[in-house]
Structures are given as structure tokens and as C-alpha cells.
Structure 1
Amino acid sequence: MTTYSSSFHAVEWRNQALHLLDQRVLPHQHLIHEYTTATDVADAIRDMVVRGAPAIGIAAAYGYALDALAGRDLEAAYRVLAESRPTAVNLFWALERMASLGTSDAHTLVAEAKKIHDEDISANLAMGEYGASLLSDGSRVYTHCNTGALATGGHGTALGIIRTAMSDGKIEQVYAGETRPWLQGARLTAWELMQDNIPVKLVCDGAAAQLFRQGKVDWVIVGADRITANGDVANKIGTYSLAVLAKHHGMKVMVAAPLSTFDMTLTSGNDIPIEQRSTSEVTSLNGQAIAPTGCDAINPAFDVTPAELIDAIATEKGLIMKPSLETVALLVNS
């Protein structure tokens, strides 16, 4: 594996089994679950034990390898894993890469899953350098959801940029949006940044506009679950509104994502399937009802930010400035 120093691992392969840090109970509990079947890994992805597009792809690759180790039907393993989450393209990219080897040899498939994991860490470190190069000294950054070591193989995408920029002495303050309804910003991002002694202040999602109006933010930096050929970005619900606010207030928006997040088969964000999750995630909190009994709700897990609202996309191959069909293709196909 690429050298990466962290006090925790969201995804780890040990003793011929997959170990996942349960992100549903962080930061107050530190539980690690062991998985030995693709079906159980699919359940872990669906139930948000593991989340974040790159981490989901890595977990799926290991899940596929697990069924190879046990001599189970790999076509069935592919199907059950592919059905776990519909929006994050890294999931399908990883499964296709595993299946394209055309083998059921467990040693080969475990090695490939480990390679996918290792490459993700290397990609995060590279995009961290590219993204941080755009920041000035004393930068104040707003981020949304969780895009750190918990959401990836290690280091992170958007948080990877923040980590690198912090080590370069460029970060003055990070604001973490709470990210309803799963509160990944409050539970995960704030925790991660505090582990690395990066100055972070938690912000209610609805307070972002006032923060921007006061001129306290220079960059919005987020991750992505799928990027289409024209540079439209699907990310955690709430990203689109942040990009609109940033545009209005003259702030810049950067998206951080590995090349595996790009879906060049889709022309625009209009074609991205948006996962609709249980309404109970909106009407309750930690199992406690917060809305009237019988109250209906909507719960899209993602939204789409048009390319024209994005100033830069940082990848492991370099920066895409002012994303468009032309600029995306220039980098992705190079």
C-alpha cells in the first residue's frame, strides 16, 4: 500500500476478510465490522456503514473478491453489489474492473482489489497537491458532507486538498456544513479535521448563506459521486445550493474527484440517476421522531451542480478549469 499515516482506516483488508469502520455511529463509537460475503458488503454499502463514492468502490471490489475466495457465483456477486447504491459511479467502475479480468481466481481478484485501494490513496495525494495549488495563504474554506479518509482509501478528495493546503500553511479556517439528513459534516468531517488539528467550525446548513454574505469564505470545496462528460457534478444533496450561493457572492467552487468518478457515457447531469432514500431519514433523527406522525417527506440523496457554477475540478491527473465538454475531454482522454 502507498504510505499514508492515519489514526483510523475506514476500509481495511485483514486475514482474508473486509473490515469496515461503522460510520453510522461515529464520532461517539468506534466499531469495526468484519465481512466475508458480497451480500453482506452490499448491505453495508446500502446501510451506510461505508459511504463516500471512492470508499464504496473499494469496498465493492473487496466484496467481489470475497465471493471468489469462497467459490461463490461471481455474476451473482456483481449483481448484488451493483444494486446497493445507484448514483456513485465508482461502484460500477470498480465492479467492471474486477469482472473485466475474466477470472474467478481468488488470488488475482484480491490483488486487484488491493491495487484499486492503493491507487485511490495515490490519486488522493496527487489531487490534494493540484487542488491546494489554487489556494492562497490564509484561505477560508467551506466544505460539505464528508470527503476525507473516511470516504476514500485514505487522505481524502476535498478534505485531501484541505489537508495538503494545511500542511502548506495556507488554511486559516475550515467551515463544515452539518449535511442533513445523515449529518456527515457534523459527525464525520468535524471529527476528521479535529484529529488532524485543522481549525474547523461546524455550520448549520441553513446558515451558509449568511456566512457567505459576511465574506468569511473564499472557496467551497466538495467531492463528487458522479461527473458527466460536460462537467456537471452529482454530489451530496445541498451541494447545488452552495454553488448557487457561492456564485452570487463571488466565491469560487472546486470539486475534487478521481478519474473513476467521471462517467463519460452521460452527456449531462440530467441523465444521472438520483437515489431516493427512505423518508424516515428526514422525519426522524437517530430513531427519534422529529416530525408529526404521518407527515410525508422527500429525501433525494444527491443533487446536480451545473458545470457553469464550478471553477475547477481537481483530479489525480491535473486541474480542469472552467469545466465543459471540451476541457473535461482534454484531461480525461489525455
Structure 2
Amino acid sequence: MRTIDWVPGPNTGHIRLIDQTRLPGSLVELDVHTVDQLVDAIGRLAVRGAPALGVAGALGVALAVDTLPAQEAMGQVARLRAARPTAVNLALGVDTALAAFRSGGPDAALAAALRMRDQDIAACRAMARRGVDLLARLCPGRIELTVMTICNTGALAAVEHGTALGVVEQLHAEGRLARALACETRPLLQGARLTAWELERMGARYDVLVDSAAASVLAAGGVDAVLVGADRIAANGDTANKIGTFALSLAAAHAGVPFLVVAPETTVDGGTPSGEQIKIEDRGSAEVCEFHGVRTTPEGATALNPAFDVTPARLITAIVTDRRVVRPPEQPGTPALNEEEA
């Protein structure tokens, strides 16, 4: 199963992606023929997750430059790049394919986008292996592990394999997963809808967990590690991820449970010094004040709806990428990540 891919055509190709808003009820694929359709899909979270957004950005550039006049294409590319401001991979994908187009034309843009797709598949496999090996060192003597996660970091957030949930999948494949605890992830329930769907498909033992129960479950013991993804990792190791991740990191620190961030190297943004400079997207009141179009708050009520929060580096046990495992600096203000192993 691929979350997003390119479908060649006789004249021009198009993008095909899984509409994640239809899960878990229906597995529906969308055929995207215009950048307008892609921006809409990104905005309503039909496609989401940092790695998948990177590939979407690159494929969107390839689509734009192959189907539109140059000036119009550049305007559409700018819209695409700004569709999700917190996730660094979307902008990276756009910039990579755009640079290829400027040096080699539409064919070069598509080739760059397809390389990003293939690199993501390989990166997720590498992260799964590194993550499992790190857990063996952090949890010595534990044959089967119980892990907690938030949001969705599986294949749906990437191309074929996931980041944090990819580690869970590898544990399961090796017979080393006792149970996965998937936080429901309010307000759009990416954990309850998407992560639970992926865990069910892989045949893993799991429970869905109300977000507000996570801290007490961690404090009670029995959870071996918390595994989360990232949408942007600052140069000092501060990490932006789905709202609720910061709360999990605090609870894990209180319980003495390892807290691991699993994300591709492309999510490390050396141009952002710390989490203070990460722009946090607010998605408006409707997602909180309504459920499936039904009002759940009084008329006139508004909501704060930050889509992400920032976890300080000092609360992260380790960051696992496709190339390395790093331990964030212990003291706030240290200028760069400290590499533990290549």
C-alpha cells in the first residue's frame, strides 16, 4: 500500500493518494490532476504526515510545471509550499523539485520527486531498524515491549512504511510487541481512526487510549517507551509534533519512561535555531466546536486549535533518524544536536 504515488499517463501523469479523511470506514483513493486539488487535499488532511507531505510537495511541483504556463505554475507552487507552515518536509519537497525543474525542466522535476518517494521508503526501513535496536539497549531484559504513541506515524504518514509506527511494526514483525497504546489524538482522532486502523491491519495487539488518560497510564507503570514522530526538529533538538506530544513528554519524564522521536533526517531543520522559532498552525474553531458537522459547543463558542506543540530537547531521550541516533543536549541553549552514533 502506498499512501501517495505518481501515476504515469499518455500525455501527463497525475498524483494518486489515499483519502485519509475516509478512514477507517472506507479505503478510498483520490486522483489529483491539479495543484488546486492537491492544496485542498493537504488542507483538509486527506494527505498528511511530514514524509508524505514532502513527497506531495515534490509531486505537486512536477504536476504544476508539466500542466501550467510558467508564471501560473510558479504561483501555484507558492500556494502549495505554504499549505502547511509547521511541517518542514512540505517546503523541502517543493524546493527540491523546483530546483530540479529550473536546472533540467519538467522531466527533471518529476525525477526529483520520484527520488524523494523512493528515498522515503528506504528511510522508513532504516528508522525502524535503528529504533528497534535502540529500544533493546534502553529496555534490557525486556523481550516484549508495551509502547505508547500519539497521532499517526505509520505508512499513512509516509509512503509505504512509517516513522514511529514503523518501529512498532518492526517490533511486531519480530514478535517483540506486547501491546501498542494509541492515543486517540483530539480533535481529529488520527490515533483512533488511522493508527488503530494500521495496527489492526498488521495484526498487532493494541488499545486506543483517551488522550487525557495517557499521563496516568504512564505513571501507573507498564509502558516501556513512548514513540512519537516529528514535523520539524530545530537545530537544538526541540521538536514540533502533533498537539499533545509535549504533554506526553512531561508524563514520560515523570514516569521515567524513554521518550523517542522518530523522524527522517529531512525533518531536521538546521535553519531553525530552537522551538521558539517554529510557526504553529492554528486550524480554527470548527474542528473543536463541531463533530462530523454537528455542533458540540454552544453557538458562539470559539476554540483555540493549535495543530502542533513543541517538546523541548531536554525532555527527549533520543532522536532516531534514518542516518543516526542522536541525544539532544542536556542543557537548554546548546546550539546543535549531539550525535551518538552514525
**1:57 and 2:58 are equivalent in the alignment:** no
1:14-29 matches, within 5 Å, as 14-15=7-8, 16-29=13-26
Contact persistence 2:234–2:270 (CA under 8 A): yes
Once the two structures are aligned, what percentage of the paired residues are identical?
41
3-state SS in 2 of match to 1:189: helix
Residue in 1 aligned with 2:139?
Answer: none
Unpaired segments of 5 or more residues in structure 1? 1-7
322-331 or 40-49: bigger deviation: 322-331
1:313 to 310, 319, 323: 319
Displacement of 1:107: 1.9
Deviation at 1:59, TM superposition (A): 0.8
Kindly tell me the number of residue pairs found equivalent between the two proteins.
326
1:225 maps to which of 219, 231, 245: 231
1:267 equivalent in alignment to 2:273: yes
Give secondary structure in 1 for the equivalent of 2:30: strand
- Contact 1:317–1:331, Cα closer than 8 Å, also in 2: no
Alignment check: 8 A CA contact 1:177 1:205 kept: yes
Query: 1:242 maps to which residue?
Result: 248
SS at structure 1 position matched to 2:261: strand
Alignment RMSD: 1.7
| SS of alignment partner, residue 65 of structure 2 | helix
Shift of 1:210: 1.9
Does residue 208 of structure 2 align to residue 202 of structure 1? yes
For residue 135 of structure 2, what is the amino acid of its counterpart?
A: L
Equivalent-residue separation in structure 2 for 1:244 and 1:189 (angstroms): 22
Q: Which residue in the other structure is 2:6 paired with? A: 13
2:235·2:336 contact (CA, 8 Å) conserved in 1?
no
Partner of 2:123: 123
Question: Which of 42, 45, 51 is 1:45 aligned to?
Answer: 42
Match of residue 4 from structure 1:
none
Asked whether the 8 Å contact 1:313–1:323 carries over to 2, the reply is: no
The match for 1:140 is: 146
Task: Name the aligned partner's letter for residue 100 of structure 1.
Answer: A
- Contact residue 68 and residue 104 of structure 1 kept, 8 A: no
**Secondary structure in 2 matching 1:135:** helix
Partner residue in 1 for 2:87: 88
TM-score, length basis structure 2: 0.92
SS in 1 for 2:134: coil
**1: CA distance between counterparts of 2:257 and 2:47?**
32
**Please, what TM-score do these two structures have when normalized by structure 1?**
0.94
* Residues 135 and 170, structure 1, Cα contact 8 Å, conserved in 2: no
Q: Gapped runs of 5+ residues in structure 2?
A: 137-142
Report SS of the residue matched to 2:75: helix
CA displacement 1:238-294 (0-9 Å, x = unmatched): 000000000001111000011111111111100000001121100111111111111
